[in-house]
Structure 1
Amino acid sequence: MMNRRAALAATVASTVLPLVATDVRAQSEYPNRPIRLLVGFPPGGGVDLTARPLLPHLQPRLGQPVVVENRPGANGNLAVDAACKAPADGYTLLVGNTGPLAANHALYRNLPFDTQRDLTPVAQLISTPLVLVVSPNLGVNSLRDLLAMARAKPDELNMGTGGNGGSPHLCLEAIKQREGLEIVHVPYRGSAPALQDLIGGRIQLMIDTYNLFRGAHEAGQVKVLAISSLQRHPSLPDVPTMDEAGLTGFESVGWVGLFAPAATPVPILDRLEEAVRGAMTGTDLPQTYLSQGGLPSFSGRAAFGAVVGRDRQRLGELIQKVGVRLD
């Protein structure tokens, strides 16, 4: 009996130890081939514009090509699903934002993945405050003016967004819940058509990231009333925060960050986190993000994970309260 047990143990060891050695060697040699960054939105969108400037800074730090692969569809869920099912070897990663990673679990009933279980945060890249803009023809000059008008004219103001369940829509719902307002939400198939209707006078206000409005703002076609972060944006020093402008303590800020499959080995996660840290310090990448309307906001795995978990709970509770569903 003892001889058989010894023989069995030897057989198991001879099988397992080479696999362990191979795994350790693969981690120590990481990366040795190109790395894909999945993006769940089309080229030119906010998440894509965050991912692409990162590439030339990651490549020299990792010693391998890093490429963006756009997989748009289902409010970011297609790319998230692919990332969740990818091998946990550090070669397929996700650049994702607040919607798919912290809100979609509450917006969709039957997702084939759980981002909290199947993905792990690697690093935050930017935070994404939203700005509230109105048509110059509306006749309001401040957020307080707009809130007073909304109270006096329930259901007469129309706010456009790029679709149901996105960060702008949820920001509007948070304001409506807090202030007891009746503002009509008008979802469009994308933010650009909504902006055209705002400029054309068919809707009266919008909430979205500033990079969407920059051209129209500079041309005097929209008026920026407030920003949703608790700090003013360096590119908009004269625009008050919503907290300053009448919504005391209000904050609604999204983020974009790097994620990996949950079982990715810690040494690989460490390598990726340090590469992003290097890209965000001592380079022109933060200035690029500022010019696009984002706030450079690097944080590592632990701190970013806490942010993702907090927003997942906060947005889940808001979505349940207002009854928004996308399936």
Structure 2
Amino acid sequence: MQRTRRFIRTGAGSSAAVLLALTACADDGDVPSASGADGDASEFPTDTVRILVGSEPGSGMDFMARGLAPRLQELWGEDVVVENVPGANQSAAYHEAAGADPDGHTLFIGVEGTFGIHDQLGTIDPGWQEFEWFGTLTEGPWAFHVDANGPIETFEDLLDAEPVRYGDGGYESPVNPVALTVFEALDVDFIFTPGYDPGQAQSSVLTGEQHFIGREVNQFVRYDQEDEYTPVLIAGDEPHPDFPNAKTFAEVEDEYDVTFSGDRIFQLGLAIGTTPGTPPETVDKLADSIVTLIEEDEEFQEWRAENLFEETMLVENIGRDVTQEKIDELTREYAEFGVQDMEERLTKGQ
């Protein structure tokens, strides 16, 4: 299956960009309220808007939320705050957002794959197709990152470390279908350790406790950690210009005569949505506001470029219909992969 993803050459990470994401926003009284939607949505928002993320500060979701918040606040003329609600692999924040008033004032950002798996396992209520998703904020291929200063320098080195060790938050982590796809196809022994928080999982690679960590391909460049972590495998067809030693899925399929079935499940996407039952006009205004930032907000465009989101945060991925299509595709792929027995498959080597 063709998995076409393009990469741009990365620059140095920007501390100024992080500062923008964390800086206090403009005075509310100086900024007029946005309009342009029909019906009640023309008055939205009328109060503080909360963006919930299901992790502690410092995660990719949190980083994205703190990049959006000050620009949405200036656009809307109302306070926009980020609230961290960790727990149950993002589902604690999801359930809080799902139970809020259906008026668009509570938003949620989460990893698409996590909720595709939660949905298949029946661990979220309402189901993820019932949530009011209105966009994928960014999307890039998963990658296996190793210690940049350690003995593993290539994908072949990783395979030679058999049994390959890696850890993550839980059995429902969306990196697990990626890892299982690779290790089962290549008949590689591995040991998966659940129970890590994101920071611990990453540190375990540097201490040698684990061999690799699954993260989006550009994550460690984005956070100025490219001297600590480097990818050896990219879950896509296109090579990355900054990581010439990283094998792509296409190269592994060709060299080892295997096939990796799937496409969407190999992408790490961050979705944004709001409470079920929110009026469609309000949901559309939320989506239009994200589009406005991408297309017209110069400060947000600068933040987007400095943090390597130019080719992964796209207007074409914003909107209710396109997001629902992606959810349908992910649901189908996870059903075909089979997540019901994933814990059993992951514990096989322990």
TM range (shorter): 0.7 to 0.9
Letter matched to residue 181 of structure 1: V
- The 1:262–1:230 alpha-carbon spacing in structure 2 relative to 1, beyond 3 Å, is farther
- What's the CA shift for 1:164? 2.9
Q: 1:164 aligns with which of 154, 166, 171?
A: 171
The corresponding residue for 1:14 is: none
- What's the CA shift for 1:175? 1.6
The corresponding residue for 2:338 is: 318
Pairing 1:296–2:297 present: no
The corresponding residue for 1:195 is: 202
Question: Where in structure 2 are the equivalents of 1:1-327 lying within 5 Å?
Answer: 26-107=40-121, 109-117=122-130, 119-135=131-147, 139-147=151-159, 149=160, 153=162, 156-210=163-217, 213-214=220-221, 218-219=226-227, 221-232=228-239, 236=242, 238=244, 240=246, 242-247=248-253, 250=260, 251=263, 252-282=266-296, 283-285=298-300, 288-289=303-304, 291-292=306-307, 295-298=312-315, 299=317, 300-316=319-335, 317-323=337-343
Between 1:25-34 and 1:40-49, the stretch displaced more is 25-34
- What's the CA shift for 1:135? 4.2
Q: Secondary structure at the match of 2:82?
A: strand
| Larger Cα-atom Rg | 1
For each residue in 1:188-215, what CA deviation from the matched residue of structure 2 results, as whole angstroms up to 9, or x when unmatched? 4213223333222232222223566447
The corresponding residue for 1:21 is: none
Task: Write the distance in 2 (CA, Å) between the matches of 1:121 and 1:279.
Answer: 18
Identity of aligned residues (%): 23
- The 1:286–1:320 alpha-carbon spacing in structure 2 relative to 1, beyond 3 Å, is farther
- The 1:275–1:89 alpha-carbon spacing in structure 2 relative to 1, beyond 3 Å, is same
* Unaligned 5+ runs, structure 1: 1-23
Instruction: Please report the RMSD computed on the Cα atoms of aligned residues, expressed in angstroms.
Output: 3.1
- What's the CA shift for 1:52? 1.0
- The 1:135–1:43 alpha-carbon spacing in structure 2 relative to 1, beyond 3 Å, is closer
Aligned residues: 294
- What's the CA shift for 1:253? 0.7
TM-score normalised over the length of structure 1: 0.77
Contact 1:209 1:293 in 2 (8 A): no
Contact 2:133 2:274 in 1 (8 A): yes
* Unaligned 5+ runs, structure 2: 1-37, 346-350
- The structure whose residues are more often helix, as a share, is 1
Contact 1:286 1:296 in 2 (8 A): no
TM-score normalised over the length of structure 2: 0.72
Q: Secondary structure at the match of 1:43?
A: coil
